[in-house]
Structure 1
Amino acid sequence: MPVELDPVKSAQKRSDYNGIYRLEDLTRLSEAVLSDSGQVDVMLKCTYDEQKLPVMLINAVTDVDVTCERCGQPMPLHIELAATFTPKTMRLEEDLVPSNYAIVEVNDYGLVDLRALIEDELMLEIPLVPKHEVENCAIKEQDMVWGELDKAAYEKPSNPFDVLKSLKNPK
């Protein structure tokens, strides 16, 4: 897969790309998961839509391991990305861009950092708090606490200034 891409020229050529990125090359994503071994399978189609906007149709799939926040054990996670992007050009009227499109910035040469774009989007697909399904988790449902506090939490805390009162009024 290319690292950078000119989306306008690629749309003019109706370019299609099928390839991979290695997880070890996606440094931010590999830091968010347990292992950097593996790959991201990417399908990219560049074309024009009905409004004559250049678009990049991206599909990416990967399997990674993350830490379950409930039990602390490794957990497999299947990540799928399907998104449509259009480059931000000087002629682009953002109000006319369909709501299901994401606008992507281009650099001074009109190129999109495709690898960074896909990495960002995959990272957004990782749950904020990844957890096993309850039946697959090492912490069983009977061991889980659902908002119950111990009795000490309900007791009225002692006033720290009570010590000063006893010094002021000796018995």
Structure 2
Amino acid sequence: MSITRIPHTVEPYRLAAVAEHLEGTVPLEKMPRLSEAVGEQQGECAVRLQFGVDEQAQRYIRGALEARVVLECQRCLQPLPVDISADFLLGLSVGDSQAAHLPKRYDPVIVENDQLDLWSVVEEELLLDLPQVAFHPEGECPVSQEQLQSGDEIETHNPFSVLNTLKSKN
């Protein structure tokens, strides 16, 4: 099944039983945790999802996503477009105890009431693949390496020097 917009919620166990394939997009502006982490975003996240059942009867979702997010450069504080690409393999489980027993190759995803919020899953995977820090490449950043370094030696201040002064007056 090929669609242009990934559905917000699905019945993942049913989709896994029939080895369903979903391909489409999720709007970045509908991802509240992403907006909270890196600011408001525009555009879409392209997503491919393959539902299935492995040889041990474990239901899973194999996925891939691609998106362009705009982060803030940590040097110049200007917008910095960053391309994110990620592959993931999720094991479906109904609770934490079942999730703890998943084979190590799977990252757990908890399914409540036979429903799964796919947009939330995609958002989580996107958040996990954001870079820790974002910088423009050396030659493209308005702030040069020399501007980031101080030429003066930093004087260390002893917070107890006032007490020493008071002591010496007596």
| TM-score (norm. length: structure 2) | 0.83
Report the Cα offset of residue 158 of structure 1: 5.9
Report the Cα offset of residue 57 of structure 1: 0.9
Query: Structure 1: how far apart are the matches of 2:134 and 2:54?
Result: 36
User: Aligned to 2:155, what secondary structure does the other structure show?
Assistant: helix
Query: Structure 2: how far apart are the matches of 1:36 and 1:93?
Result: 32
Q: Are residues 1:103 and 2:108 paired?
A: yes
Question: 1:122-169, CA deviations, whole angstroms, 9 ceiling, x for partnerless residues?
Answer: 1121122211222322222233339x872412x6566211343355x3
Match of 2:27 in 1: 22
Q: Are residues 1:86 and 2:96 paired?
A: no
Report the Cα offset of residue 93 of structure 1: 7.5
Query: Structure 1: how far apart are the matches of 2:99 and 2:41?
Result: 39
Which residue identity lines up with residue 80 of structure 1 in the other structure?
S
Query: Structure 1: how far apart are the matches of 2:160 and 2:39?
Result: 45
Unaligned runs of 5+ in 2: 1-5
Q: Is the CA contact 2:22–2:50 (under 8 Å) kept in the aligned structure 1?
A: yes
Instruction: Give the fraction of aligned pairs with identical amino acids, expressed as a percent.
Output: 27
Q: Is the CA contact 2:99–2:109 (under 8 Å) kept in the aligned structure 1?
A: no
Match of 2:127 in 1: 123
Q: Is the CA contact 1:66–1:76 (under 8 Å) kept in the aligned structure 2?
A: yes
Query: Structure 2: how far apart are the matches of 1:112 and 1:3?
Result: 8
Q: Are residues 1:152 and 2:121 paired?
A: no
User: Aligned to 2:124, what secondary structure does the other structure show?
Assistant: helix
1:65-84 superposed matches below 5 A: 65-84=70-89
User: Aligned to 1:160, what secondary structure does the other structure show?
Assistant: helix
Report the Cα offset of residue 56 of structure 1: 0.5
Q: Is the CA contact 2:41–2:70 (under 8 Å) kept in the aligned structure 1?
A: no
Query: Structure 1: how far apart are the matches of 2:60 and 2:12?
Result: 7
Q: Is the CA contact 1:35–1:64 (under 8 Å) kept in the aligned structure 2?
A: no
Unaligned runs of 5+ in 1: none
Q: Highest CA radius of gyration, 1 or 2?
A: 1
| TM-score (norm. length: structure 1) | 0.82
